[in-house]
Amino acid sequence: MRQNPCRMRSRRLLLVLAVLALTLGVAGALRRDRTTATETTALPAAPPAQVGGAEANVVTGTLPADRIVRARVGDTVRLSVTSDSPDIANMPELGLSSPVGPQIPGTFEFTAYAVGRFPVTLSLAARAAGEVDVSR
């Protein structure tokens, strides 16, 4: 059974257009990741953190290497998230997100206001990168 040549050309054209659209979308996302990777996503400004009359600490960590970054209420948390492939790091409970990639670490900086465990996930890989554990 022979197919109509015009129909075959239409299918090929649609396939080429779909591949082109996908390629342009990925290229645009990668370009956007590179231009915004150095930006820090942070919570709204807060008064200077003091816990029990003492100035709070600055806690730094890298995920997934550290897996758990420990902080205390009032600490400033500076977090760097890495990934082997382009992705988006999220801290959903805090409403934070940042693009990440092989040479583009995602960064978060916030003041720990509440006790709890706050997961850091990689959206596209659908996996956890680690968590921030805040105690009193």
Mean pLDDT in consecutive groups of 10 residues from the start of the chain, 136 residues: 70 72 67 44 44 66 88 94 93 92 91 94 92 94
Q: Total domain count for the chain? A: 2
Rounded to a whole number of angstroms, the CA Rg of the chain reads 21
**Residue 131, pLDDT score:** 93
Domain that holds residue 131: 41-135
Determine how many CB atoms are found less than 10 A away from the CB of residue 63.
25
φ, ψ (nearest 5 deg) of residue 28: -65, -40
**Same domain flag for 27 and 46:** no
What token pair was written down for 109?
């900086």
Is pTM beyond 0.85 here?
no
80 and 25 in a single domain? The answer is: no
Q: Starting at the edge strand that comes first in sequence, how are the strands of the sheet with 58-63 ordered?
A: 41-42, 106-111, 76-81, 58-63
Tokens of 99: 């693009």
32/45 same-domain check: no
